[in-house]
Structure 1
Amino acid sequence: MKIGAVVLAAGSGSRMKSSVKKQYMEIGGKPLIYYTLKAFEKGPQEVTVLVTSPGDEEYCQKEIVEKYGLSSDIVICAGGAERYDSVYAGLMALPKDTDIVMIHDGARPFVNRQIMDRTVNAAAEYTAAVCGMPVKDTIKMADNEGFAASTPDRKKLWMVQTPQTFSYPLIKSLYEKLEQEKEVLIAHGLNITDDAMLVETFSDKKVKLVEGSYDNIKITTPEDIALAESLIDKYDMI
């Protein structure tokens, strides 16, 4: 199999409440996105596409890839206004003969090779796979007035993470469909929040859930920075 990876780092990180974009904030003296790319250096893919905010391509090449001596197999391209625009740009930047693609949030630096392999193997068998972990807390569904409406069975609930991994021809075709029809779909209230949702909505394929890690956190708020600092030594990523 020819495996590719798309790492998304085009967001603004508004919930971080910082003038520095989240992906460039320092953890242990290095930018957050460095750790994610470093983790993918140990991955099974042949090519990694880093999707940045438009205008950040040269900065990422010089100040991230070259400065820290990261792999020369990293291709940098500009993303779009929404996450799905950035995923589409990343998919289009991969070699056309790619068989399997991992799509990963750049703000999840603590992914590891074992998680990647599990999603790749599951995608090879089932066409679509995402990693995640069973929820630890009881979940309540709320009604429109903010009252508890129901309590779903916790044993069936997962926290979904990335990488989300797919047959490249399948996910590419679905994103092409989305790109062509997104204005109509958005007008009808469809909000695509992850890649698996696209498969669930526009194909007859089931998405296989595989084990991720409770450490595979997404750095989103200032509180997450302190948690990430505590995990760096554990993952030997300095």
Structure 2
Amino acid sequence: MKLSALKSSSISPQYKCRSIPQFRTHETFACKRFPRSSFLSPATTTKKLRNGLGDNLRHKGTAWRRIDLQGRPVAFEFYEHDAGPPQRNDQLVKVDDGSVSVILMSHSSKKRAGSKIPNQYLQLRGQPMARWSFATLLAMREVGEVIVVCDLDWRHVFEEGFENTSQNGNLPFLGKRVKFVEAGQDRQSSLIAGFREVSEEIALVAIHEVERPLVTQDECSRCFLDGISFGASVLGVPVKPTIKQVKNYGFVVRTLERSALMEVQSPQAISPTTLREVLDIIVRHNISGTDEMSIVEALGKPVKVSQGEYTNLEVTSRDELAIAEQILEERARPEVYA
């Protein structure tokens, strides 16, 4: 089932406004542009839902108005245009040590022609590609556990890297929990299997694809901080190419404004409560092939795009593997970044 086909009558209203002092939020049902009488009817909600899930949850006026998917009003957050979006007070928000659980997605079984090794386990500068991001995330103070979702025949790739680093006395690795979960048939089932292993005391869940081996700790820290602050975040970079929308045998409809477009990456960080809600929707409605953050958006919850780097590329081809080799070689030479 596709996300756009999700029916409005099957999701109960569970979305309440969070009154956090450092946010510009107000729990109310009225504002100057949207009086109480302007809430959408169930019929209008259903129509908008079919045209694009989430269109009924966000408006271009002075308010973010929340309604449930049956058209009934619930508490909402709003801000004036001149005031800007909700702001984070960095003095009040921080990510505690060990409060993040990382679900490391290594579920893909795709192989190059003639190869017996899945792409994510090919050698990248002397070690399997999947081990690079594993080591980066495991060494972060914010990360308390890493849940590796993979074909268990390949768990030795991660175990060897973990044991070798721990035996060498690398303190950031000591005391970290590493769990292994058998991958499912697709991304959604694999993610659900990984989420079942998340510890109860965790404050934030980060989902990362091992096909992005070059992610840095600075990028992850920004994503984690935004995830704690706003409930959901994802790394992203501004789109560079010109993007055109086409239909009817490839004819151009319009050219999209690049300044409003972001190319999203991983990790993506999300609160355990919201992720549980998203996965419940995926299971109940048999949704496949949809990014989890798209469902978060459809629920009317904010998703913050954290500043990423263009070097955090997804390695899926021989050419991209060569580029990743070059980036790692440059990082190993301090004079390049002096």
State the alpha-carbon separation in 2 of the partners of residues 60 and 156 from structure 1: 40
2:224 to 117, 120, 126: 120
Cα 1:175–1:78 change in 2 (3 A) is: same
Is residue 2:237 matched to residue 1:144? no
| 1:48 equivalent among 146, 159, 164 | 146
CA positional deviation for 1:90:
1.3
Partners of 2:156 and 2:145 in 1: CA distance: 20
Shift of 1:32: 0.4
Runs of 4+ with deviation above 2 angstroms: 16-19, 55-73, 233-237
Q: Is the 8 A contact 2:104 2:149 kept in 1?
A: yes
- State how far apart, in whole Å, the 2-side matches of 1:155 and 1:214 are: 16
**How many angstroms apart in 2 are the aligned matches of 1:131 and 1:12?**
25
Greater Cα offset, 141-150 or 80-89: 141-150
How big is the shift at 1:214?
0.3
Give the superposition deviation at 1:85: 1.3
- The 1:74/1:233 distance shift into structure 2, 3 A limit, reads farther
Report Cα offsets for 1:178-228 as digits up to 9, x if no partner.
12331xx45xxxx31x22112123x22021111010000011112111011
Higher strand share: 1
Over the aligned positions, Cα root-mean-square deviation in angstroms equals: 2.1
Alignment partners' CA distance in 1, 2:181 and 2:154: 6
Which residue in the other structure is 2:129 paired with? 32
Indicate if the aligned counterparts of 1:99 and 1:169 stay in contact, CA closer than 8 A: no
CA distance in 2, matches of 1:236, 1:38: 16
Task: Tell me the alpha carbon deviations over residues 48-85 of structure 1, each in whole angstroms, 9 at most, x when there is no partner.
Answer: 111102x4254345555446659452211112111111
Q: Does 1:99 align with 2:203?
A: yes
Are positions 1:4 and 2:101 aligned together?
A: yes
In the superposition, the TM-score normalised over structure 2's length comes to 0.62
Q: Secondary structure at the match of 2:196?
A: helix
**Counterpart pick for 1:214 among 306, 310, 315:** 310
Over residues 12-70 of structure 1, what are the superposed CA-to-partner deviations in whole Å (9 max), with x where a residue is unaligned?
A: 235x44431011100112100111111112322100111102x4254345555446659
Amino acid aligned to 1:59:
H
Q: For CA contacts below 8 A with separation 6 or more, give which structure has more relative contact order.
A: 1
1:229 aligns with 2:333: no
Q: Out of 214, 235, 240, which is 1:110 matched to?
A: 214
Instruction: Tell me, in whole angstroms, the C-alpha distance in 2 between the residues paired with 1:64 and 1:42.
Output: 12
Structure 1 residue 153 corresponds to structure 2 residue 254 = no
Equivalent AA in structure 1 for residue 106 of structure 2: A
Give 5+ residue unaligned stretches, structure 1.
none
Q: Among residues 119, 123, 148, which one is paired with 1:22 in the alignment?
A: 119
Residue identity in the other structure for 1:161: Q
- CA change 1:205–1:59 in 2 (3 A) is same
**Structure with bigger gyration radius:** 2
Identify the structure with the greater helix proportion. Answer: 1
Equivalent positions of 1:157-196 (< 5 A) are 157-182=261-286, 185=287, 191-192=289-290, 194-196=291-293
Secondary structure at the counterpart of residue 185 of structure 2: coil
Letter in 1 for 2:328: I
* CA gap 1:19/1:57 in 2 versus in 1, 3 angstroms: closer
